[in-house]
């Protein structure tokens, strides 16, 4: 489904890697967005309209001079009425699409290794400044095929934001930063099977989430939320 992303809120971050890694984050950020669905034209089996006298050149040119909104003779034919009913039937069966509010996370990464990357596990960690105990991790599995020396921007959409809950102290702030942000790479899978992983991140802890997001074919998206 095609979608239009309307930017509502933006937060940019330049992050440093915790572990020494040949794949580094150059720039990162997140934004609150709304996805507006684009309605496609429903496919139908409406027959071609019949050829009537009013469609001949003289009558057609004369009809163009009529007042806008005048009745089209084609609508009075059997095929015209059939097309109208078919359109009504298709529209009644079409799913009612609603806008989706969520968050777009993005990061610009550079591959300084001598091998081509295949997959990158990306993590955004948010800590509420007024309540440091409130720390939230948003993790993504991203298909990122970077050649040695290449820089690529990858992005992901999620309905989950920086925090599920927020303290009254933060809500009282009219302006100012609410969260401390850290963006890091947890795991890199290279072409040929080599793997580089953070020492404090375990693939076994996320195995079920990885199986869930990879159980269906991928479309045009680069990342999926774990």
| Mean pLDDT in residue range 200-204 | 92
51 token code pair: 């050829």
Instruction: Please check whether residues 85 and 118 belong to one and the same domain.
Output: no
Domain count, the chain: 2
In a domain, 3, yes or no: no
Instruction: Please check whether residues 86 and 117 belong to one and the same domain.
Output: no
User: Computed over its alpha carbons, how large is the radius of gyration of the chain?
Assistant: 27
pLDDT tens for each residue of 145-194: 999 999 999 999 998 888 877 777 776 776 778 888 999 999 999 998 99
Q: Residues with Cβ < 8 Å from 83, sequence gap 6 or more?
A: 46, 47, 49
* CATH code of 214's domain: 2.60.40
Output the pLDDT for position 46: 52
- Evaluate if residue 13 carries a pLDDT over 50: no
Phi then psi for 58, rounded to 5 degrees?
A: -65, -50
Instruction: Please check whether residues 85 and 114 belong to one and the same domain.
Output: no
Q: Are 180 and 127 contacting, i.e. CB atoms less than 8 angstroms apart?
A: yes
Domain that holds residue 193: 10-32+103-225
Indicate the DSSP class of residue 56. S
Output the pLDDT for position 3: 35
In a domain, 140, yes or no: yes
In a domain, 4, yes or no: no
Residue 14, class by beta-carbon neighbours within 10 Å (0-12 exposed, 13-18 middle, 19+ buried)? exposed
Measured CA to CA, the distance from residue 224 to residue 226 in angstroms comes to: 6
- Evaluate if residue 7 carries a pLDDT over 60: no
Phi then psi for 189, rounded to 5 degrees?
A: -110, 125
pLDDT tens for each residue of 100-123: 889 999 999 999 989 999 999 999
Output the pLDDT for position 1: 37
Instruction: Please check whether residues 128 and 58 belong to one and the same domain.
Output: no
**CA 169-175-180 angle, 5° bins:** 65
Average pLDDT over the chain reads 77
In a domain, 19, yes or no: yes
Measured CA to CA, the distance from residue 69 to residue 75 in angstroms comes to: 13
In a domain, 197, yes or no: yes
| Mean pLDDT in residue range 64-89 | 64
Domain limit, last residue, from 93, 115, 142: 93
Instruction: Please check whether residues 112 and 193 belong to one and the same domain.
Output: yes
């Amino acid at each position: 489904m095609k979608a239009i992303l309307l930017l509502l809120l933006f937060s940019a971050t330049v992050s440093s890697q915790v572990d020494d890694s040949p794949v580094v984050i150059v720039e990162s950020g997140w934004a609150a967005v709304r996805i507006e669905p684009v309605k496609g034209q429903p496919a139908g089996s409406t027959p071609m309209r019949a050829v009537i006298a009013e469609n001949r050149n003289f009558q057609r040119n004369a009809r163009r001079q009529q007042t806008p909104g005048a009745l089209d003779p084609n609508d009075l034919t059997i095929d015209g009425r059939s097309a109208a009913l078919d359109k009504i039937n298709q529209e009644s069966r079409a799913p009612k699409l609603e806008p989706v509010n969520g968050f777009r996370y993005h990061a610009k990464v550079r591959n300084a290794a001598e091998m081509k990357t295949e997959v990158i596990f990306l993590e955004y960690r948010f800590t509420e400044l007024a309540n440091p105990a409130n720390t939230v991790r948003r993790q993504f599995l991203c298909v990122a095929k970077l050649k040695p020396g290449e820089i690529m921007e990858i992005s992901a959409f999620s309905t989950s934001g920086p925090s599920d809950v927020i303290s009254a102290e933060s809500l009282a702030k009219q302006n100012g930063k609410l969260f401390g942000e850290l963006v890091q790479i947890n795991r890199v899978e290279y072409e040929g099977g080599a793997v580089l992983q953070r020492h404090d991140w375990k693939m076994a802890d996320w195995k079920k989430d990885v199986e869930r997001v990879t159980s269906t074919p991928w479309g045009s998206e680069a990342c999926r939320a774990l």
